[in-house]
């Protein structure tokens, strides 16, 4: 849906924006007017999505997920995976209690199911892996045991990075792009290979497909290259969780790219783009622009990115 669209779908969008806490200011029901556009933009910004005011498939999916609260439905591991803010809330609660539900991504995958069963066994409930009324009551009873420290997923990521060999040599790297920056992607891949990394380049417009490829490859790090008007580096972050390895890499890349491109003014941003959300390793998306300047400077950009990744491999925290 885009501005000036009208119909029942827009009415549903406006209703979901209200439920998510982003009510349009005086909208015309069923009309994608300026106030609806502003509300969509505010929702996108809060959810770590590109804030363009257009309700694309990713924004719509995020709206649907935002309308789920823990307790609204039974949660359990199935295929396709359940997704929603209720799942993220469950993951945060389990992680704070010391049960490894994986990163807080709002996706009920195998790790979340295993953590839920372990919790149920610890509190004397049947370990059926279903988060229903009794499990929620047990979570509420032990809520006072939670702390403000990092969840298990963050501790696990930090430990893995701390124990990794401090070298780029042998690291498995995925460079993802949609085709527009193929020249830059090839240059980056060549530079990384010259440093001893094992590199796979994935040309695919769909971020989820790129994430699947990176996960199957068992990558140590993912780099996404996206054309844009200016430079911005994004890493995965949601309320209560961030990828510390992704943030460190984003900071290093931002500093290195600032020496090459004069449009690198924004600090790294924590976002929940599909590719960042669904990868299982430190990941960043590099928005690079203006595109003409990026293509002209592709050798220098490739050197800057490779140097940033090499520095990250030595000091990932």
Task: Report the pLDDT value the prediction gives residue 148, as an integer from 0 to 100.
Answer: 59
User: How far, in Å, CA of 222 to CA of 205, rounded?
Assistant: 15
In this structure, what DSSP letter does residue 81 have? Answer: P
Q: Could you tell me if 59 and 143 lie in one domain?
A: no
Query: Which letter does DSSP use for residue 104 in this model?
Result: S
Distance (Å, whole) CA 236 – CA 249:
11
Q: Which two tokens stand for residue 143?
A: 């809520």
In terms of domains, do 139 and 173 share one? no
Q: What is the pLDDT of residue 210?
A: 97
Enter the tokens of residue 7: 């119909």
Residues 52 and 97 in one domain: no
- Give me the helices (H) in the chain, please: 8-19, 34-46, 57-66, 85-96, 110-122, 133-141, 152-163, 182-194, 207-217, 244-258, 274-278, 291-296, 298-314
Instruction: Please check whether residues 56 and 93 belong to one and the same domain.
Output: no
State the greatest distance between any 2 C-alpha atoms of the chain, in Å, as a whole number. 63
Q: Which of 66, 94, 109 is the last residue of a domain?
A: 66
Q: Examine the fold and report which residue of 158, 183, 218 is the final residue of a domain before the chain moves on.
A: 158
Whether 135 and 191 share a structural domain: no
pLDDT of res. 116? 98
Residue 269 and residue 186 share a domain: yes
In a domain, 242, yes or no: yes
Q: How far apart are CA 129 and CA 123, in angstroms?
A: 13
Residues 30 and 101 in one domain: no
Q: Does residue 278 sit within a domain?
A: yes
Q: Is residue 302 part of a domain?
A: yes
Amino acid 39: pLDDT: 95
Task: Note the pLDDT of residue 254.
Answer: 93
User: For position 223, which CATH number holds?
Assistant: 3.40.630.40
Q: What angle do CA 149, 151, 157 make, to 5 degrees?
A: 115
Q: Of 94, 148, 88, which is closest to residue 121 (Cα–Cα)?
A: 94
Considering the domain architecture, whether residues 154 and 206 belong to the same structural domain is answered as: no
Q: What is the pLDDT of residue 6?
A: 74
In a domain, 79, yes or no: no
Q: How far is CA 7 from the centre of its chain?
A: 32
Same domain (yes/no): 140, 243: no
**How many structural domains does the chain have?**
3
What span, in angstroms and rounded, lies between the C-alpha atoms of 67 and 65?
5
Backbone angles phi, psi at 252, to 5 degrees: -65, -40
Predicted model pTM: 0.90
Does a structural domain hold residue 75? Answer: no
Q: Is residue 236 part of a domain?
A: yes
Show the low-confidence residues of the chain (pLDDT under 50).
none
- The tokens for 56 are 């694309």
* Range of the structural domain that residue 99 is part of: 85-158
Query: Same domain, yes or no, for 53 and 173?
Result: no
Domain final residue, candidates 113, 140, 158: 158
Q: Is residue 256 part of a domain?
A: yes
**Same-domain status, 51 and 89:** no
With contact defined as beta carbons under 8 Å apart, do 38 and 63 qualify? no
Percent share of the chain, pLDDT over 90: 79
pLDDT score, position 167:
95
Q: How far apart are CA 236 and CA 108, in angstroms?
A: 17
One domain, residues 209 and 303? yes
In a domain, 80, yes or no: no
Domain harbouring 96, CATH code: 1.10.101.10
Q: For residue 285, what pLDDT is reported?
A: 97
Dist. CA 99–CA 116, nearest whole Å? 8
């Amino acid at each position: 849906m885009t501005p000036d669209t009208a119909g029942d779908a827009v009415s549903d969008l406006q209703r979901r924006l209200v439920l998510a806490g982003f009510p349009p200011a005086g909208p015309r029901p069923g009309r994608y007017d300026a106030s609806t556009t502003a509300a969509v933009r505010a929702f996108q910004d809060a959810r770590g999505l590109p804030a363009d005011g257009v309700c694309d498939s990713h924004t719509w999916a995020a709206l649907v997920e935002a309308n789920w609260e823990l307790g609204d439905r039974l949660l359990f591991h199935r295929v396709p995976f359940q997704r929603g803010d209720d799942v993220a809330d469950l993951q945060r609660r389990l992680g704070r209690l010391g049960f490894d539900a994986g990163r807080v991504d709002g996706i009920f995958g195998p790790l979340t199911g295993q953590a839920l069963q372990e919790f149920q066994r610890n509190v004397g409930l049947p370990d059926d892996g279903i988060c229903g009324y009794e499990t929620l009551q047990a979570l509420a009873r032990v809520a006072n045991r939670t702390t403000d420290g990092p969840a298990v997923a963050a501790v696990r990521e930090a430990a893995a990075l701390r124990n990794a060999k401090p070298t780029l040599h042998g690291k498995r790297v995925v460079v993802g792009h949609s085709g527009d920056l193929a020249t830059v992607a090839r240059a980056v891949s060549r530079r990384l290979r010259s440093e001893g990394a094992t590199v796979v380049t994935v040309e695919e417009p769909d971020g989820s497909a790129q994430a699947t490829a990176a996960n199957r490859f068992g990558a140590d790090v993912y780099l996404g290259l996206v054309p844009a008007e200016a430079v911005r580096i994004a890493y995965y972050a949601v309320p209560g969780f961030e990828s510390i390895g992704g943030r460190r890499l984003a900071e290093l890349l931002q500093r290195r790219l600032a020496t090459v491109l004069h449009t690198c003014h924004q600090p790294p941003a924590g976002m929940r783009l599909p590719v960042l959300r669904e990868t299982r390793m430190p990941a960043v998306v590099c928005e690079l622009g203006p595109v003409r300047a990026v293509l002209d400077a592709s050798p220098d950009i490739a050197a800057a990115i490779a140097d940033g990744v090499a520095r990250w491999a030595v000091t990932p925290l």
